[in-house]
Amino acid sequence: MKHYYLATCAWLLLTLSGVAQENSASAIVLTAQNWFAGAPTYTAGTLGSSASGLAVCNGVSEDDDVWYRFTATTQAAKIIVQNPAFDAVVQLLSGTLTTVACLNGAAANVTETMKVSGLIPGDVYFIRVHGLNNGSGSGTFNIAVQFYPTVQVQNSWSPYPNVESGMTGYKINENTKRTTFSVSENALIQASHWRFVDTATNLVYTKLVPGTSSLINLDVVGGLCFGKTYDVSVEIQVDNFWCGYHVVKQVITEAEPSTTLLPGFSGQYYPIDGNIKAVYVGNGQVLEWEFTTDQGTTVLYHQTSGLTGSFCYFNEIGCIRYNKIYSIRVRASLCGSAFGPWSPYYFVIILPLPYTNVEPEHCNETLPDGATITCDFINVANQYAWQFAPIEPGDDAMVPIGPATVIYTPWTSCYLLPLGLTLDQSYRVGVKAFLGVGNTDGCSDPQEGDYGQFCPIHLVDFVLFSPGEEYLMPESDEETGVLALSEGKTVTMSRHAGQLFMTLKAGALAAPSMTTVRLYDLGGRVVFTHQCYLTPDIDLLQLPMGNDLPGGIYLTEMLTDSGLRLTDKIFLGSN
């Protein structure tokens, strides 16, 4: 722990070397006493009987003054003329008899207290006491003088740190190693006021530190910069009085900061939502990053605050693209908008957009034209492209024999019916992901992945999987709400009493099963889903659906946890 010098505070104990003197030449010499010793020690005094002839400071005549002198040891003093038997006037003069301060603040017979700063330690000063229009020149009083303490930065802290190896100057903005100055821990201090003057520009930065703690952290001053020399001084408040600035000490702040990419981050492969990290330079600083690719034709700049711990997150940059090599360099802010030197160049590699594949449960299967196929979810993608290329049945090489049909969906599912694919035909199916459709990643055009593994399907007519006649709007029993089902149908829909209901016929199930029911429109979108537990003894089960679907043709799917899948095409009448 560093130690600091606190200027000695002193009492002035007044001792008379004879009768009260009535001019500066024969002024009574006052003897200093420690200011921290306790209550002031007073010495009795008596006004003189004749005038000194020196002009008074308050504009009135006098003929009854008495003089004292002292040598200043600090910048601030407190002069007390206690219990005067008259209306006392107190005048402080320099060694050349120039008035420094004048006081007649209290009424007659009331103590006068003068507080003054700006004294020059080592200089001689005079105190002159007289009565306001006293006339007769008589009057007694007690007098005491106290020196207030003035403080300074300890010599060992100027001009730069001497305990932290490798530091060229004081750190100004790093919480973990911020520099702390201290002048005193004395409980008599009410507040401290610090002043930093830039020796190159004369700009002044100040900070008030309230309370008894006379410590200051440089990161709270505000405005201090790197590679600077500052004149530092401090004043303290005691007895509700600011004691004035004293000795100025010079301190040096750390040199212009530089940073580099943290070891281990360069030359690595990263996903598009990855991050890299620079060497930590401090909480108050900003890091600027430069990303260059495509042989220098693309340059991206990004700034991050030191509060993030010197990380740079790719998803915060304007447009980082998949499957690119980026040259990277970084620099740290100095003061305001200025920056320090750039680091050397490093490089990172962004991985390709992840592949997605058709779910294997659909591959090598015969599917109805009303089926829905799905693919793997890619967390960064917001669109998927589905390709259906006709192939010869049984062709293991899956060589297209005609033009492919491509459809784009925002989901990981694709409904086959609206595609107009040829029935009784085999297709090679593939899917790829897109990022940034709609400019969600800050790029001007979407980032496109590659098709994943292709797989074959064989497409057949939907009606082969929907036994029974086409369903028309059934009649309903207005009292019970039970619907008349067409024979062979597993699911129907109707409106009853202003509400829309889906009715399930579960008697065909061989065993109890948790069943997922989905309703699709002709665009392949799921417009209703519900899970329920069905048993073979349930004849009909009604599910309320609200009343927000338009009339038309819908497709239903019942999928049991045992793998049984039933589909239907049903018609819903309009309101």
Neighbours of 299 (CB within 10 A): 11
Looking at beta carbons, which pairs linking 479-486 to residues 24 or more positions away fall under 8 Å? 481/542, 482/540, 483/540, 483/542, 485/540
Q: Which residues are CB-contacts of 64 (< 8 A; sequence separation ≥ 6)?
A: 47, 48, 49, 50, 51, 130, 131, 134, 135, 136, 137, 138, 139
For residue 93, the cross-strand partners are 99, 126
Position 178 scores a pLDDT of 60
**How far is CA 150 from its chain centroid?**
39
The single-letter DSSP state of residue 339 is B
Position 19 scores a pLDDT of 41
Domains 269-350 and 491-572 share a fold: yes
The single-letter DSSP state of residue 150 is -
Contact criterion met (CB below 8 Å) for 302 and 326: no
Alpha carbon of 3 to those of 147, 148, 167, 250: distances in Å?
A: 23, 21, 20, 17
For domain 491-572, the CATH superfamily is Macroglobulin (MG2) domain (2.60.40.1930)
Position 574 scores a pLDDT of 66
Fold that domain 10-148 belongs to in CATH: Jelly Rolls (2.60.120)
Q: What class, spelled out in words, does domain 269-350 have in CATH?
A: mainly beta
Which tokens sit at 207? 């900070």
Q: What does each of the 575 residues of the chain score in pLDDT, given as a tens digit?
A: 333 333 333 333 333 333 446 788 888 888 766 666 667 888 888 887 777 777 777 766 666 788 999 899 888 899 999 999 888 889 999 999 999 999 988 888 899 999 999 999 899 999 998 887 665 556 899 998 988 887 877 777 778 776 655 667 887 776 555 666 666 556 678 888 999 999 999 999 999 988 877 778 888 888 888 888 999 998 888 889 998 887 888 888 888 788 999 999 999 999 988 999 999 877 667 899 999 999 999 999 999 886 667 899 998 998 999 999 999 999 998 877 788 899 999 999 999 999 999 999 899 988 888 788 999 999 888 899 999 999 999 899 999 999 999 999 988 988 888 888 999 999 999 999 998 887 777 888 889 999 999 999 999 875 433 333 333 333 333 333 333 334 445 677 766 656 677 777 655 566 667 778 888 877 677 788 877 777 666 656 666 776 677 777 778 877 777 777 777 777 776 66
Contact criterion met (CB below 8 Å) for 502 and 490: no
> b/e for 42-53, b at 16 or more Cβ within 10 A?
bbebbbbeebbe
Contact criterion met (CB below 8 Å) for 332 and 339: yes
Domain boundaries along the sequence of the chain: 10-148, 155-252, 269-350, 360-465, 491-572
Which tokens sit at 511? 């065993």
Which tokens sit at 493? 């829909």
Position 518 scores a pLDDT of 82
Mind giving me the DSSP string for 413-432?
EEESGGG-PPTTEEEEEEEE
Euclidean distance between CA atoms 299 and 291, whole angstroms: 6
CATH for the 360-465 domain, from 1.10.3720.10, 2.40.50.100, 3.40.50.800, 2.60.40.10: 2.60.40.10
Candidates 234, 228, 231, 232; CA nearest to 252 is 228
Residues composing the chain = 575
Position 131 scores a pLDDT of 83
Candidates 532, 528, 539, 538; CA nearest to 572 is 528
Fold that domain 155-252 belongs to in CATH: Immunoglobulin-like (2.60.40)
Euclidean distance between CA atoms 415 and 373, whole angstroms: 7
Position 123 scores a pLDDT of 94
Position 377 scores a pLDDT of 92
pTM for this prediction: 0.53
